[in-house]
Amino acid sequence: MKVVVDSAEVTVRVSSRQTRRVAHSDNLMVVVWDFTNGPDREPDPFHAHPHEQVTCVVGGEVLFFIGEESRRLQPGDMVVVPPGRPHTIQVLTPEVRLIDAFTPLREEFLQAGSRTGGG
């Protein structure tokens, strides 16, 4: 059984306002993102990747963008991001927690020196 506990040992500080924790199997990755110091005046830069992604808002609110479309999301809302589609968020509340599921694995999150959970 793989268990990832909420601790500094498995948390990666991505920026001064963003952290992530990762758990994964051979084919599926789940990432918990925590954002602080919101709300943001502008969306983050758009990005795209070849992975399928499903995002669930657990806390706070975001404006989620996929291409030209945007939608305000709150706790319990989910969005599906097709592979290769440019997307981003804008944090709308002081704190936000998102849970992303990816397939295949986001290998860049598993690079040497990154702290991750799972195996």
Q: Give the pLDDT band of residue 113 (cuts 50, 70, 90).
A: very low
Query: Looking at residue 119, what is its pLDDT?
Result: 37
Q: Angle at Cα 69 formed by Cα 108 and Cα 71, nearest 5°?
A: 90
The pTM for the full model equals: 0.87
Q: Which CATH number is correct for 21-109, 2.60.40.1250, 1.20.120.1200, 2.60.120.10, 3.40.50.300?
A: 2.60.120.10
DSSP designation for 76: T
What 3-state class would DSSP assign to 50?
Answer: coil
Residue pLDDT, tens place only, 29-50:
999 999 999 999 999 999 999 9
